[in-house]
A and B are shown apart, each in its own frame.
Chain A
Amino acid sequence: MEFPENLKYTEEHEWVRLEGDNIAYVGITDFAQSELGELVYIEVETVGETLEQGDEFGTVEAVKTTSELYMPVSGTVLEFNSKLDDSEGDDPTLVNSSPYGDGWIVKIELSHPDELEDLMDAEAYQASIA
């Protein structure tokens, strides 16, 4: 199981990858996808909304269970990864096969980039799930 060094992690098993000063990609960790099993649907209906850290921004459905997605930091949801939207003929299981790559879930604009400092680095996250 991989936990890239360049990401920040949350207790809710999400990761954030900062691109530039205040744009970031958000997804779920390899651990999270493995616990959930094969995803069947990802719902994000918050594109365009500005949310607080910890707010729910979407839902993932696995065969066995449902899990909410929470904003790792405050920000505006700019985009939902269209490759995951199976109404477009694409595939939510990209999150299973590539949780840190093609399986990113949303792109956000951070309201308070300093909130990233509250999140865990790879080592701390790995320790938290051990």
Chain B
Amino acid sequence: MKNTPLNDKHLALGARMAEFAGYNMPISYSNIKDEHHCVRTNVGVFDVSHMGEFIVKGKEALDLIQLVTSNDASKIEIGQAQYSCLPNTDGGIVDDLLVYRLAEDNCAEGERAYMLVVNASNIEKDWNWISKHNSFDTRLINISDQTALLAVQGPKADEVLQKLTDIDLSELAYYTFTKGTMAGIDNVLISATGYTGSGGFELYVDIKNAEVLWDAVFEAGKAYDIQPIGLGARDTLRLEMGYCLYGNDITDETSPIEAGLGWITKTKKGEFNSRDIFIKQREEGVDRKLVGFKVEDRRVPRHGYGIEDLEGNAIGEVTSGTQSPTLDVPIGLGYVQKEFAAPGTEIAVVAGKKRLKAVVQRPPFVEKS
């Protein structure tokens, strides 16, 4: 099991640690609910250094990215990021990822540079998958082990981080980024992205500076009662937004069209893996769809629970579920047959011997800020 460069910080804070995707990760520092509310109303810091980062650099970098990802990477300008996925060749998903188009100051004439940010659990799989498709004039560099990632999320994140940099963070629109000096550290990639729906930034930094940046962020956030946030609250926060989690809601077996990720599946951009399958799914429709639902019971839906119609016929399966700390009701995501996908449809979640009444609802469950 690997440690992140911030492991000593987590231990000193008394975090409850557990293995996640091969990494020893903080699950919670105080408790999940308090950490969740802290991000929704204030500001919190996540160590998500387990995430993987690949640099794609070369004259044909865009061609490789266009072939392996589903979104249209030709639309990304320098300083922009894009949510996308890596389809496999059977209509499923190898991983979901962010594609950053980097500045070209270190590039030779005609070269482009991108950074792909992938899920920790899929680093090796993605690396092999992308490498296999790399018949282009382009290089792939895995910088995961040299890169730390801090997510500073919440409505007060701008104010806290602004104290640490001369870059005007209010100028940084959602899904854009810049590289600059923060807390005296050069070359911090400051990205206006996140996985919480509460605004904020993700900071990519060389591992040797991770602790310095962590300490500086907490020092700057003192007046705001900034708190460290674990993976437990990361899951409840993303689920309230209906954001997919790879391995639960999207897998090698699910198509982006089924998962409601049609908006990142640009079949008109040209050839890419599984394009023909997705065109066909668009034209003919898919048999099942990923939906959100609210449970009208106190029991909580969990990954793997069955979903039935009101007559008791099996119609699908829960892929993620939790007690929403904001709404204080149980919520979930799951695949259902397309006839049951319309918001307002009544379904039943099977929790052991019990059937929990639930109603299909289009996420987000909580308004995004």
Chain B residue at smallest Cβ distance from A66? B302
Which of B25-33, B52-60, B361-369 has 4 or more CB atoms under 8 Å from chain A?
Answer: B25-33
Q: Contacts A37-B32, A38-B32 hold; do A63 and B299 have CB atoms under 8 A apart?
A: no
Q: A37-B232, A40-B323 are in contact. Are A64 and B32 (CB under 8 A)?
A: yes
In this complex, which of B33, B298, B351, B352 has the most chain A Cβ atoms within 10 angstroms of its Cβ? B298
**Residue contact A65 to B236, C-beta cutoff 8 Å:** no
* Nearest CB in chain A: distance from B333 CB, A: 16
Smallest distance from the beta carbon of A25 to chain B beta carbons, Å? 23
A38 to B300 CA separation, bound complex (whole angstroms): 14
Chain B residues near A65: list those with CB within 8 A. Answer: 302
Contact call A66/B351, Cβ cutoff below 8 A: yes
* Chain B residues with CB under 8 A of A64: 27, 32, 232, 235, 322
Q: Are B300 and A37 in contact (CB under 8 A)?
A: no
* Contacting residues, chain A, for B322 (C-beta < 8 A): 63-64
Q: A37-B232, A40-B323 are in contact. Are A63 and B298 (CB under 8 A)?
A: no
Q: Is the CB of A63 within 8 A of B302?
A: no
* Inter-chain contacts of B31 with A (CB < 8 A): 37-38
Q: Which listed residue (A66, A68, A86, A87) contacts B300, Cβ 8 A?
A: A66
Contact B302 A37 (CB under 8 A): no
A38 to B351, CA, bound (A): 20
Contacts of A66 in B (CB 8 A): 299-300, 302, 351
Asked if B262 CB lies within 8 Å of chain A CBs, one says no
The answer to the question of B79 belonging to the interface, with a C-beta cut-off of 8 Å to chain A, is no
Cβ A63 vs Cβ B32 within 8 A: yes
Residues of chain A lying within 8 A (CB to CB) of residue B300: 40-41, 61, 66
Contact of B194 with A by CB under 8 A: no
User: B247 at interface (Cβ–Cβ under 8 A)?
Assistant: no
Asked if B351 and A63 sit within 8 Å, CB to CB, the answer is no
Could you say which residues of chain A place their CB within 8 Å of the CB of B352? 59, 68
Assembly CA distance A63 to B323 (angstroms): 5
> Is A52 an interface residue, CB under 8 A from the partner?
no
**Nearest residue in A to B232 (C-beta to C-beta)?**
A64
Where the two chains meet, the residues of B that have a C-beta atom closer than 8 Å to any C-beta of A are 27-28, 31-33, 232, 235-236, 298-300, 302, 322-323, 325, 330, 351-352
Give chain A's interface residues, CB within 8 Å of chain B: 37-38, 40-41, 43, 59, 61, 63-66, 68, 86-87
Jot down 5 A-B pairs with beta carbons below 8 A, ordered by A.
A37-B232, A38-B31, A38-B33, A40-B323, A66-B300
